[in-house]
Amino acid sequence: MTNVASKTERLLDALMDGDRLTNKQIQSRFGFTNPGSVSKAIYRLRTEGFPIWLNRRVDSKGRVKHKYTLGTASRRIIAAGYLALSSMGESPLEG
């Protein structure tokens, strides 16, 4: 039996390799049992600092697809993180 952590790690590996995946693709490829478990895995990765975006695409037939991708955090997001850490009394420079 595969545990959720290894599914999440495999999902991260795929995103780091440049894959752009829909919720259904993630469920099928990594064995997540429902859309909620995908959302929890994405949330976990985001809280660990991975900038995962959900991009909306419209194909030539007008169908809308939403795909997760690993992006780059904007300066604004990084600044907000540093501000949040400093407001908690933590130094962002300490590991």
**Cα(35)–Cα(84) distance, rounded to whole angstroms?**
30
**Cα(13)–Cα(8) distance, rounded to whole angstroms?**
9
Task: Give pTM, 2 decimals.
Answer: 0.76
Torsion over CA of 89, 50, 58 and 23, rounded to 10 degrees?
-110
Average pLDDT over residues 1-8: 68
pLDDT at 7: 93
How does pLDDT run across 56-94, given as a tens digit for each residue?
999 899 999 999 999 998 889 888 888 888 888 776 565
Q: Sign of the CA dihedral 18, 35, 55, 85?
A: negative
